[in-house]
Amino acid sequence: MNHQRVIWAAARLALESSQKKNRRNGSSGIRYWASFEKALGLFVWLLRIAGLHKKGIQNAINIKCEHHSVAFDSLPEAFHKFRILHLTDLHIDGNPLMLDPLLKQISKLEYDICLITGDFRFGTHGSIAGVIEPLKTLIENIKAPFGIHATLGNHDSQAMVPVFEEMGINMLVNESVKIKKDGDEIVLTGIDDVHYYYTDNAIHAMEQSPEGFKIALVHSPEMFDVAADNHYSLYLCGHTHAGQICLPGGKPVFKHLYTGKNLTKGFWKLNGLTGYTSAGCGTSGIPIRFNCEGEITLFTLLN
Ligand SMILES: [Fe+2]
């Protein structure tokens, strides 16, 4: 592990142990996830009484594939028709019923690169052991010639980074990597989660990235303004699950965002930046969705 990674891992571990949320505006707050889960337990009880529990579970494994073509004047020519498979919020140890439908959807697709924007784990703390086997199965089924690149979410631990890299995932922890193709290149910058674990290194990584056509991988949309200020072209994220449990019509009951509260779902724009907030594959809290399908997303870049 390089020197910067060692420092980052120690700082992240301290934040994980503190049970506090480290927010970008300088404040911190207690993580109330355990209380939120208790409230969800009551919701599940009500669903059982109403006869809707099984329907919610079935909804959660009906993962759709969204196909989007996105045009950029600044895209290098060699990356015209470059295909990105975007996965997020796998929460892969939370619902064993989800993996087969997910693999089935992925098996239908052809893509050049796979980008994963965090939340591998169901819980927000504790062992990472339950993630490893299902994630290995998933990785074995992803055929991406330009690799699998990922960053962490607020449900994830610093302990995942070396384990996932051993599996073949290129983890980006406030780091950038150049993807080269036929003499052209694009830049990927992966930012550590800023919803629970913000540090100024998140901003520095965006400010210090190489120039060129830049894609930001961030767990949540909460760095939208920094990415726009630093001339990123595309920002891929998840975190919101598009609400996961929504009112009829898809209106979220919970957003879990401090900033960018209107960036809950789908495409958004800010100056020259195109952002996309995916509904994600998995679920958190409870393995249930209503009025809000899970998704994997295939982007085709055009110039
Ligand atoms: Fe999530």
Query: Distance from the CA of 119 to the center of ligand 1, in angstroms?
Result: 5
Better-scored residue on pLDDT, 61 or 25: 61
CA of 140 to the centre of ligand 1 (A): 22
Please say if the pLDDT value at position 21 is more than 90. Answer: no
* Per-residue pLDDT reduced to its tens digit, 231-267: 999 999 999 999 998 888 888 877 787 787 789 899 9
Angle at 179 between CA 176 and CA 181, to 5 degrees: 165
104 located within any domain: yes
Closest CA to 247 of 293, 285, 291, 289: 291
285 C-alpha to ligand 1 centroid (Å): 9
Q: CA 94 to CA 181: how far, in whole Å?
A: 37
> Above 70 in pLDDT, residue 5?
yes
Distance between CA atoms of residues 33 and 12, nearest Å? 18
The number of distinct structural domains making up the chain is 1
Q: What is the mean pLDDT of residues 78-94?
A: 97
| Summary mean pLDDT of the chain | 93
287 or 52: which leads in pLDDT = 287
What value does the CA radius of gyration of the chain take, rounded to a whole number of Å?
18
Q: What is the CATH number of the domain that holds 84?
A: 3.60.21.10
Mean pLDDT score, 13-21 = 89
- Tell me whether residue 56 is in a domain: yes
Tell me: pLDDT of 1 over 90.
no
Query: 276 to each of 220, 224, 289, how far by Cα in Å?
Result: 10, 10, 20
Q: In this structure, are strands 64-71 and 175-181 parallel, antiparallel, or unpaired? A: unpaired
CA of 73 to the centre of ligand 1 (A): 32
* Residue in 133, 202, 130 with CA at minimum distance from that of residue 172: 202
Do the beta carbons of residue 295 and residue 279 sit within 8 Å?
yes
For residues 174 and 8, the answer to whether their CB atoms sit within 8 Å is yes
Residue 150, in any domain of the structure? yes
**If pLDDT is split at 50, 70 and 90, which confidence band does 160 have?**
very high
In a domain, 24, yes or no: no
Range of the domain at 167: 3-19+29-302
Residues 25-60: tens digit of each pLDDT: 776 676 666 777 777 777 778 878 877 888 889 999
pLDDT at 296: 98
Query: Cα of 62 to ligand 1 centre, how many Å?
Result: 17
- Ligand 1 centroid – CA 77 distance (Å): 34
The pTM assigned to this predicted structure is 0.94
Q: How many CB atoms lie within 10 A of CB 2?
A: 8
